[in-house]
């Protein structure tokens, strides 16, 4: 059974490996983007991240193994959704919806009224999920992070 919970320090190594596996395999990102994003979420960086903000990493587990994640950070009273991802062999079960729901539960606890994020213009799965979950497109920015094109999204949260 799939469970969704906050990451703990003992998850650091396993989660960093899951993040690496998901990012490595993404067709929408160039090599520069992949290597930088993977570096950002090393085991030690993840441990530091949740020491600073315990709500900033959510994991999905199946039989106690991490199969998905949702990473975010406090951004001047907004939440910046950094990444959500599911291991390839666990996709198709709408687990990202569970992760995004769990993220929303943390926003008021973190004093935030809005979530915002980006996705690559070619990431159809992400575009579908964000739209279905009530995110609205703000703008498309060309030649942006890592020289690639991105859509910016936001979701205003109920009080
Ligand atoms: C995005 C991601 C997390 C979704 O995984 P998931 O939760 O298993 O998603 P599911 O396969 O259950 O699909 C959820 C919905 O998206 C739709 N979807 C999935 N892949 C799609 C695609 N390539 N194009 C359009 N829609 C797609 C499904 O049809 C489903 O729609 P529905 O709920 O309306 O029926 C997963 O594809 C992933 O890890 N991708 C790599 C990382 C990434 O791109 N993250 C997002 C940017 S931060």
* DSSP assignment string, 20-35: HHHHHT-TTS-HHHHH
Atom number of ligand 1 nearest to Cα 87: 39
Nearest CA, atom 40, ligand 1: 85
Residue 139 belongs to some domain of the structure = no
Contact in structure between 30 and 148 (CB atoms under 8 Å): yes
Q: How far apart are the C-alpha atoms of 124 and 80, rounded to whole Å?
A: 20
The count of residues in the chain is 159
Residue range 3-61, pLDDT digits in tens: 999 999 999 999 999 999 999 999 999 999 999 999 999 999 999 999 999 999 999 99
For the domain that residue 57 is a member of, what is the CATH number?
Answer: 3.40.630.30
Question: For residue range 66-118, what is the model confidence (pLDDT) as tens digits?
Answer: 999 999 999 999 999 999 999 999 999 999 999 999 999 999 999 999 999 99
Tell whether 76 is covered by a domain.
Answer: yes
Structural domain contains residue 145: no
Give the pTM.
0.97
Which domain range does residue 41 map to?
2-113
If one counts the domains in the chain, the total is 1
Site to probe by mutation for ligand 1, drawn from 20, 129, 135, 145 as the one with most ligand atoms within 8 Å of Cβ, is 129
Query: Does residue 147 lie in a domain region?
Result: no
- In sequence order, what E strands does 15-144 have? 57-62, 65-75, 78-86, 114-120, 136-141
Residue 121 belongs to some domain of the structure: no
Residue 155 lies in a domain: no
The answer to whether residue 126 is domain-embedded is no
Query: Which is nearest to 148 in space by CA: 123, 117, 114?
Result: 123
Q: Dihedral of CA 137/84/59/52: which sign?
A: negative
Closest residue by Cα to atom 5, ligand 1, is 91
């Amino acid at each position: 059974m799939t469970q969704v919970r906050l990451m703990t320090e003992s998850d650091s190594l396993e989660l960093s490996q899951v993040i690496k596996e998901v990012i490595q395999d993404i067709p929408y990102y160039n090599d520069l983007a992949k290597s930088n994003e993977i570096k950002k979420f090393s085991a030690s960086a993840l441990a530091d991240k949740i020491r600073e903000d315990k709500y900033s990493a959510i994991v999905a587990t199946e039989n106690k193994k991490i199969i998905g994640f949702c990473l975010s950070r406090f951004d001047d009273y907004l939440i910046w959704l950094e990444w959500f991802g599911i291991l390839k062999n666990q996709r198709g079960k709408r687990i990202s919806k569970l992760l995004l729901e769990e993220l929303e539960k943390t926003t008021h606890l973190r004093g935030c009224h809005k979530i915002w994020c980006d996705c690559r213009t070619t990431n159809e799965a992400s575009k579908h999920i964000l739209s279905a979950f009530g995110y609205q497109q703000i703008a498309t920015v060309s030649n942006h992070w890592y020289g690639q094109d991105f859509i910016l999204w936001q979701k205003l949260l109920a009080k």
